[in-house]
Amino acid sequence: MKQFFVFIKKEFYHIFRDKRTMFILLGMPIVQIIIFGFALTNEVKNAKIGVLDFAKDAASTSLITEIQASRYFDIAQTLSSQKEIEPVFQKGNVKLVIVLPANFNAELTHLHTAKIQIIADATDPNIANQLTNYASAIIRDYQQRITENQQLPYTIQTQVRMLYNPQMKGAYNFVPGVMAMVLLLVCTMMTAITIVREKELGTMEILLVSPARPFRIIVAKAIPYLLLSTINIASILLLSVFVLGVPINGSIWLLLGVSMLFILVSLSLGLLISASADTQQTAMFIALVALFLPTVMLSGFMFPVANMPVVLRVLSNVVPAKWYYNIVNAVMIKGLGVQAIWKELLILSGMLIFFLGLAIQKFKIRLA
């Protein structure tokens, strides 16, 4: 047992004494969360828009104030004629123009109906769609409020609810994806690399010749990475709750439990790679091509699996990250319990047994 601990201690020395490893292990998750959470978000904030207000009455002014106050829009141009609309779009100054007709207040109060024109730059259809949705939502909000004040008997309301992600935050989608990626990076790639490094340096020769049991050597090498991964999960969850504002809707213990399962799957994949690679480069290459790319592409976190061609859909089933991604989505975002994820749990457990068995079988107690 003492052997075992001394091994783990040594492994921590390696990690703590190499700044690059330290950064990959502890800095990467934070960097990834921040990049995905902020920079790569598809959420629109402070989009520049133009307003053409023909009415300039009480109602139009208060609606414009409301739009300006929202965090989505920033009124960059106040236009005075129809002719000015085209040029501001062409210059790319604004993404959207809201046109309020003359007599806006009068029509609204007397006829109970008013028309507002929203013109969007649809070069990027996704953004145009989002912006018009936001604008309509603000206008509906406004309409709802003034109707309440007047207490009229019939009011037609359109109500759209965004399920699970009411603010349509990108972070909801990314957090589970980043968790899967980071765990894969730390557990699979780093574990594989450190084992292969011992082969490259020749220290594996000495270890194999020692009475230390080969499999125990490998397990001891994996343990520090297991510990570090739990730190990573904690830091990702803390960041997502307190910085990105993504709540944990389900049971945190269930979430940690399934993460542990996924870590074990990743570790056994790392062991499998280390058994077949002889240089750190090869290990890195296998990890990147065979694991990282499929994780990013096929786990569903970048591109929805349902929209993929059949071949890719079938292929995505062998990507462990896909199942983990589904689980985290269900537990963390939707707040579901074990009964909703038992199928995924079963698949991941099966993968763990398979990969671990293969890794043990392939592990060499000799050199060639």
- Asked if residue 208 binds another protein (CB under 8 A), the reply is yes
The rounded distance, in Å, linking the Cα atoms of 244 and 37 is: 7
Residues 166-205 that bind another protein (CB under 8 A): 201-203, 205
Q: What angle do CA 193, 197, 202 make, to 5 degrees?
A: 160
- Asked if residue 309 binds another protein (CB under 8 A), the reply is no
Number of chain residues interacting with another protein (CB under 8 A): 24
Compute the least distance from the CB of residue 362 to another protein, in Å: 17
- Asked if residue 14 binds another protein (CB under 8 A), the reply is yes
The rounded distance, in Å, linking the Cα atoms of 190 and 224 is: 11
Q: Figure out which of the listed residues 35, 58, 206, 353 binds another protein, where binding follows CB under 8 A.
A: 206
The binding track of 267-306 with respect to another protein, each residue x by CB under 8 A or -, is ----------------------------------------
Compute the least distance from the CB of residue 124 to another protein, in Å: 48
Q: What share of the chain is helix, strand, coil (3-state, %, to 5)?
A: 70, 5, 25
Least Cα distance to 188 among 68, 292, 312, 297 occurs for 292
Q: For residue 335, how many other CB atoms are within 10 A of its CB? A: 14
- Asked if residue 22 binds another protein (CB under 8 A), the reply is no
Q: Figure out which of the listed residues 83, 163, 166, 211 binds another protein, where binding follows CB under 8 A.
A: 211
**Part of the chain binding another protein (CB under 8 A), chosen from 36-44, 270-278, 304-312, 360-368:** 360-368
Q: Figure out which of the listed residues 28, 122, 146, 212 binds another protein, where binding follows CB under 8 A.
A: 212
Least Cα distance to 195 among 134, 271, 282, 82 occurs for 271
**Part of the chain binding another protein (CB under 8 A), chosen from 1-9, 64-72, 107-115, 228-236:** 1-9
Least Cα distance to 190 among 114, 253, 270, 244 occurs for 270
Compute the least distance from the CB of residue 217 to another protein, in Å: 9
Compute the least distance from the CB of residue 197 to another protein, in Å: 10
**Part of the chain binding another protein (CB under 8 A), chosen from 14-22, 62-70, 234-242, 290-298:** 14-22
207 vs 346, beta carbon nearer another protein: 207
**Part of the chain binding another protein (CB under 8 A), chosen from 11-19, 167-175, 284-292, 330-338:** 11-19
The binding track of 125-144 with respect to another protein, each residue x by CB under 8 A or -, is --------------------
217 vs 333, beta carbon nearer another protein: 217
- Asked if residue 7 binds another protein (CB under 8 A), the reply is yes
Which residues, at least 6 apart from 260, have a Cβ–Cβ distance to it below 8 Å? 230
Q: Are 38 and 86 in contact (CB under 8 A)?
A: no
- Asked if residue 19 binds another protein (CB under 8 A), the reply is no
Which residues, at least 6 apart from 202, have a Cβ–Cβ distance to it below 8 Å? none
Q: What is the CA radius of gyration of the chain?
A: 28
The rounded distance, in Å, linking the Cα atoms of 345 and 355 is: 15
Q: Taking the mean position of all CA atoms in its chain, how far away is CA 326?
A: 12
Compute the least distance from the CB of residue 16 to another protein, in Å: 9
State the DSSP string of 65-132: HHHHHSSSEEEEEEE-SGGGHHHHHHTTS-SEEEEE-TTHHHIIIIIS----EEEE-TTSHHHHHHHH
Which residues, at least 6 apart from 198, have a Cβ–Cβ distance to it below 8 Å? 204, 207
Q: Tell me which residues touch another protein (CB under 8 A).
A: 2-3, 6-7, 10, 13-14, 17-18, 201-203, 205-212, 365-368
